[in-house]
Structure 1
Amino acid sequence: MSSGTPRQDDTDDAAPKRRGRRPGGQDTRAALVEAAREVFAEVGYNDATVRTIATRAGVDPAMVNHWFGGKESLFTVAVQIPVDPTTLIPELLAGDKEQLAERILRRFLAVWDDVGGGSFAALVRSVASHGSAVRLLREFVATVVINRLIRELDMDRPDLRAALSASQIVGLGMMRYVVQLEPLASADHDALVAAIAPNLQHYLTGELDPAAKLPG
């Protein structure tokens, strides 16, 4: 005769499955990374929001800060960029501003070459089916890295400078690691810096043509 008290296994079987937001564990982190990769690919870095990513993952937006500290760190994890902007920017600013382009190029080349260009190529492959991987990376470099550097240096027209500079850096990455265009693909760092740094430095700190404008 039953005592009227349900057995533990009966209770477990009858309990409804968890719905809605996920608990704040490792599965939440993985869900955020997956959702971020999709959202960044669909709308780009600048238009992606923490709330949109969290909603896609089915978690509270506070979990983004909890696990990653913000959108930019989540981006670096989601698309496998092997640099941390919070440490990279002070490193690049530590020195003569007229040699900033050289420091940027050497840092990016060192990071990408350390992994055989794999992280750059992986980024392109990971989002190519959803949107423009080049645009995505260019937005991130322009907004999170270059624009901050330029504003720290108190330069005029920071958005234009950042866009031009990011296009130069990301273009180099595409030609060297994805397209593997020679002689860029096999050139050593000194040769690349000597060839590209003067133009990049002009974008960063030189006088820009007043007629040069960004649309909108």
Structure 2
Amino acid sequence: MAGERGRRPGNPQTRELILSKAVASFVSRGYPGTTIRGVAREAAVDPALVMHFFGSKDGLFDAAIKKSMPVALLVEAFEGDEEHLAERLVTRYLHLWEDPSHGPTFAAVLHAAAASPAAADLLKDLMRRELLTPLAGRLSRDHPEIRGLFAASQMMGVAMMRYVLKVDPLASMPVHLVARTVTPGIQRYLTGALSLEEITGTASAR
């Protein structure tokens, strides 16, 4: 039995321990380098217990994203007037990337999404469900879902160039300067005049 080998039993505290070890592994080893056996070894549990709680490596990654990504802090930035929505959102987003307790996790998630289609699908589902849909609900202009998607794509692009690829001079710019430069474009996506009819018409025709 697992308990007789000195392994931890399957209780909620054990599940949280496994999850914390999984987050650390995804951050330090990436998606390809993280394994069920490796996480089980770090948590001193049987691999079967990891499978019991999370079902698969993808299930473990999904749970790790939900645990480690500060989605609620980003959603808080949605509150307030639309006129300053981009300013609040970009400032919060960049500050989270700058935070040593969150930035490495963000980078690991992006690396994982680039390395694995399964991880990319999990990230897309999380973003759509937890971020893009609530953001669209805050917008009063036409095609709010597409507006949110364009805004998110630019923000992720900035993060990729600054924090993951570390391309200078963007990587070494003061964060307030990056926020000030990026914000007007994000605000335009969210509330400005955009010609989206052709885009939506093309998508509907497919």
Q: In the alignment, which residue of structure 2 is the partner of 1:58?
A: 52
Query: Any stretches of 5+ residues in structure 2 without a counterpart?
Result: 4-8, 33-49, 56-61
3-state DSSP of counterpart to 2:171 = coil
Q: How many residues align?
A: 168
Match of 2:175 among 147, 169, 189: 189
Match of 2:66 in 1: 76
More deviation, 101-110/202-211: 202-211
Provide Cα deviations, 1:140-186, integer angstroms capped at 9, x if missing partner: 44542243122133443232122211111111110001111112111
Structure of greater Rg = 1
Aligned residue number for residue 178 of structure 1: 164
Partner amino acid, structure 1, of 2:95: A
> Is the partner of 1:93 in helix, strand or coil?
coil
Aligned amino acid, residue 93 of structure 2 = F
Relative to the length of structure 2, the TM-score reads: 0.62
Write the letter of the residue equivalent to 1:114: D
Q: Which amino acid aligns with 1:113?
A: E
Identify the structure with the greater helix proportion.
Answer: 2
Paired AA for residue 184 in structure 2: P
TM-score normalized with structure 1 length = 0.60
> Matches of 2:63 and 2:53 in 1, distance apart?
17
Gaps of 5+ in 1: 1-15, 43-55, 62-71
1:164 maps to what in 2? 150
The correspondence for 1:207, drawn from 179, 190, 193, is 193
SS in 1 for 2:199: coil
Q: Name the CA distance, whole Å, in 1 between partners of 2:121 and 2:165.
A: 16
Aligned-residue CA RMSD (Å): 3.8
Q: Tell me if the contact between 1:106 and 1:193 (Cα under 8 Å) persists in the aligned partners.
A: yes
Change beyond 3 A, Cα 1:173–1:30: same
Give me the whole-angstrom Cα distance separating, in 2, the residues matched to 1:98 and 1:208: 16
Amino acid at match of 1:93: F
- 1:24 pairs with one of 2, 8, 11: 11
